Amino acid sequence: MRAWLATVALALPACAGAAEPPPGDTFIAFASSFSSFRTWESFAVPAGSGAGPVHLTGPRTEYLNHAPPHGAAAFPVGTIVVKESEEGDIPDRKVFAMVKRGGDYNESGARDWEWFELENVDEDEVTIIWHGVGPPAGEMYGGDPKAGCNSCHLASAKNDFVQSADLSLQRF
């Protein structure tokens, strides 16, 4: 019993949303995983750049929880990319994220990636609106009820499904 409790106690900090995920081949993101994402490395995305109608709504900032190792062919499990619009007050901004979950998640789409829509609670905390292999039924993501995250991100398979020029694996 004590060994089990010690294992659980050691695992709890990993669930609390540390910027560096625990080693392993699967990472499950919780709302706390996105805490203080504005303190991560950031990249400005000018208005009118990017793909897909949801990402063309003005200037945005992308945040990366940790860079991949130099020369990596893929982002490591536990990588989190957050994209936030800069329009409006913080609680009203659109925030989307992709998390390298691993474990063959999203096997028929952008393999290993899970998609999120977040809502700012305040400067440091967010809540998860939805997550999964794409938006829920009826969600008008980008104005097209049939399009989802995979439909656009599959075009960037050579960069591990990450579309941002600033997050090109060749850059790291």
Provide the residue ranges of all domains of the chain, joining segments of one domain with +.
24-166
What string of pLDDT tens digits covers the 172 residues of the chain? 444 333 333 344 444 444 455 556 899 999 999 999 999 999 998 776 655 555 556 788 999 999 999 999 999 999 999 999 888 899 989 899 999 999 999 999 999 999 999 999 888 999 999 999 988 887 766 556 566 888 889 999 999 999 888 999 999 9
Give the CA distances from residue 14 to residues 11, 32, 35, 57, 75, in Å, rounded to whole numbers and listed in that order.
6, 10, 13, 34, 19
CA distance 90 to 125: 11
CA distance 49 to 46: 6
- Residue 139 in contact with residue 145, Cβ under 8 Å? yes
The pTM of this model reads: 0.82
